[in-house]
C-alpha cells in the first residue's frame, strides 16, 4: 500500500527528473540553433513545458516577474497579441506573424532554467563546439568544391548565407572574448586564436552575406568599447584594416559583394531599381509611405505584406517584410511599436551593466548583433537569428538578476 509520504516522495522524484530533463533540453538548444530550424522550434517548446511540468511554479513565475528583462520580452510579445485585434491582415496572416515572435515568450520562461551557473556553462560550450563543427564542415565544403571544380554561391552549411554568417560572426565574437579572458601563457590560447582566424576568414572570404560583414565589424568595435585600451583599439583597427585590405586585393566574396552594392546604388540613382540593393531601397521608401498613413498604431500584426500589396509597388515585387526590423515594427504598430522595440533593446543594454563581466559582454554582444543586423534584415522575426537572440538573452540574464542596481554575483568565468 502506498502511503501519502511515499506518494509525495515519488512525486518529488518525478519532478526532479523533469527538471533535469528540461535542463538537458535547454542545453540541447545550443546545439540545435546552428544545425536545425525544426529542432530549435521543438526544443524551445519542449524545454519550457518540461520545466513547467517539474512544478514549483510559484517560485518560477516570481523569478520571471522579478526579472525586468523577462518582463520586457513578455511586454513586447504582448504587443503582437494586441495588434491582432485591429490588424488589417486576414486572421491566418496575423496568427502566422504572431507565432513567429513566440520565441520572446519562451525566452522569458527559459530564464529560470539557467539560474545555475553550470547549465549556463554547458550551454555556452555546447554552442561553441557545435559552431566549431559547423565551421569545419564549411571548410570541407569549400575543399570539396575546389577539388572537384563545382561552383557554389558560397560555402554556408546547414543555414542560408545570411543566418550562417550571423551565427559565425557571433561565434567569432565569443571566441574573441574567450581568448581575451585566457592567461597569456595558457597553451590553449594559440589554438583558439587559430580558430578565430579561420572563423574570420570564413565570414569574409567564404560567405556572401553583407549582414555578416556589418555585424562582425560592429562586434569588434563593441569589444574595444567593453575592454578599452589603446592596445586593444590598435590591434582591432589593424586587424579589420588588414582583413578588408586583403579581401579587396584578392578575389573574394567580400570584394564582389561590395562592388555589387556600389553598382546597385548607382543603378538605383539611374532609376534601375530591380537589383538587390535597389529593391531594398524601394521597400524602405514604400514602407515609410505606409507608416505615414497610420503613424501612431500602425495597421496591426501581420499586416505588412497585405498593406504593401495594396499600394501596387513599382517594380511589382511584393515583399513579406521590408528587410528592416524597425520599419516592419513601425508599419505594424506605428511609432508606439518602434518606441517599445527601442525600449526593449535599450533596457537590455542598460541592465546588462549590472551582470558579471562575462555575461555582460555576451549579452551586449547578442543585442548589438541583432540591432545592427536588423537595419538590413528583419532578424527578430527570422527563425535562426531571432531564436539565437532569445536564447542568449535568457541565458545571460538568468544570473540571479532582478534589474536592481546591485551586482548580485561576481564575474566568474562562464566561458571555459
The residues, ordered by sequence, that sit 6+ positions from 219 with a Cβ below 8 Å of its Cβ are 169, 170, 172, 173, 176, 365, 368, 369
pLDDT at 404: 44
Q: Which residues of the chain have pLDDT under 50?
A: 1-2, 148-150, 402-416
Cell numbers 567593453 correspond to what residue? 226
pLDDT of residue 400: 58
DSSP string, 290-301: HHHHSTTTTT-T
C-alpha cell at 61: 513565475
Q: Quick one: 109 exposed, middle or buried, by C-beta within 10 A (0-12, 13-18, 19+)?
A: buried
Dist CA 320 CA 309 (whole Å):
9
**Measured between alpha carbons, how far is 130 from 136 in angstroms, rounded to an integer?**
10
pLDDT tens digits along 167-186: 999 999 999 999 988 887 77
**Maximum pairwise Cα distance, the chain:** 86
DSSP for 145-213, please give it. Answer: HHHHT---S----SS-HHHHHHHHHHHHHHHHHHHHHS-TT-TTHHHHHHHHHHHHHHHHHS---HHHH
Is the link from the previous residue into 315 a cis peptide, with omega within 30 of 0?
A: yes
Q: What is the pLDDT of residues 88-109, one digit of tens each?
A: 999 999 999 999 999 999 999 9
CA pair distance 334, 293, nearest whole angstrom: 10
Please give the Cα distance from 44 to 60 (Å, whole number): 17
pLDDT the model gives residue 68: 92
How many of the other CB atoms lie within 10 Å of CB of 135?
A: 24
Q: Which of 250, 337, 240, 237 is nearest to 291 (CA)?
A: 337
pLDDT value of residue 267:
65
Residues 6+ apart with CB under 8 A from 353: 360
Amino acid at each position: 500500500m502506498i502511503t501519502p509520504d511515499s506518494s509525495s516522495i515519488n512525486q518529488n522524484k518525478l519532478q526532479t527528473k523533469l527538471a533535469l530533463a528540461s535542463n538537458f533540453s535547454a542545453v540541447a538548444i545550443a546545439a540545435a540553433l546552428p544545425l536545425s530550424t525544426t529542432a530549435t522550434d521543438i526544443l524551445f517548446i519542449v524545454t519550457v513545458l518540461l520545466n513547467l511540468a517539474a512544478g514549483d511554479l510559484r517560485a518560477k513565475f516570481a523569478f520571471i516577474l522579478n526579472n525586468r528583462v523577462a518582463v520586457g520580452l513578455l511586454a513586447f510579445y504582448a504587443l503582437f497579441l494586441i495588434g491582432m485585434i485591429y490588424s488589417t491582415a486576414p486572421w491566418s496572416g496575423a496568427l502566422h506573424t504572431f507565432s513567429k515572435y513566440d520565441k520572446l515568450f519562451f525566452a522569458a520562461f527559459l530564464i529560470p532554467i539557467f539560474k545555475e551557473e553550470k547549465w549556463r556553462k554547458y550551454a555556452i560550450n555546447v554552442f561553441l563546439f557545435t559552431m566549431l563543427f559547423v565551421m569545419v564542415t564549411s571548410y570541407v565544403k569549400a575543399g570539396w568544391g575546389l577539388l572537384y571544380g563545382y561552383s557554389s554561391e558560397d560555402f554556408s552549411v546547414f543555414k542560408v548565407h545570411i543566418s550562417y554568417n550571423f551565427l559565425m560572426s557571433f561565434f567569432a565574437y565569443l571566441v574573441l572574448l574567450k581568448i581575451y579572458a585566457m592567461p597569456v601563457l595558457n597553451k590553449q590560447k594559440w589554438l583558439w586564436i587559430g580558430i578565430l582566424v579561420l572563423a574570420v576568414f570564413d565570414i569574409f572570404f567564404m560567405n556572401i552575406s553583407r549582414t555578416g560583414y556589418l555585424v562582425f565589424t560592429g562586434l569588434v568595435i563593441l569589444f574595444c568599447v567593453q575592454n578599452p585600451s589603446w592596445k586593444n583599439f590598435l590591434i582591432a583597427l589593424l586587424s579589420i584594416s588588414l582583413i578588408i585590405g586583403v579581401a579587396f586585393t584578392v578575389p573574394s566574396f567580400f570584394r564582389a559583394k561590395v562592388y555589387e552594392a556600389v553598382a546597385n546604388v548607382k543603378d538605383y540613382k539611374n532609376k534601375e531599381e530591380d537589383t538587390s540593393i535597389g529593391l531594398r531601397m524601394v521597400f524602405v521608401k514604400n514602407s515609410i509611405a505606409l507608416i505615414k498613413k497610420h503613424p501612431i498604431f500602425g495597421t496591426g500584426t501581420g499586416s505588412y505584406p497585405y498593406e504593401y500589396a495594396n499600394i501596387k509597388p513599382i517594380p511589382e515585387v511584393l515583399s513579406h517584410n521590408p528587410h528592416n526590423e524597425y520599419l516592419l515594427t513601425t508599419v505594424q504598430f506605428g511609432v508606439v511599436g518602434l518606441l517599445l522595440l527601442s525600449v526593449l533593446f535599450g533596457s537590455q543594454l542598460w541592465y546588462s551593466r549590472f551582470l558579471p563581466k562575462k555575461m555582460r559582454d555576451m549579452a551586449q554582444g547578442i543585442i548589438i548583433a541583432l540591432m545592427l543586423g536588423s537595419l538590413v534584415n528583419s532578424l527578430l522575426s527570422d527563425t535562426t537569428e531571432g531564436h539565437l537572440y532569445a536564447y542568449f538573452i535568457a541565458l545571460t540574464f538568468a544570473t540571479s538578476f532582478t534589474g536592481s542596481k546591485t551586482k548580485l554575483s561576481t564575474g566568474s568565468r562562464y566561458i571555459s
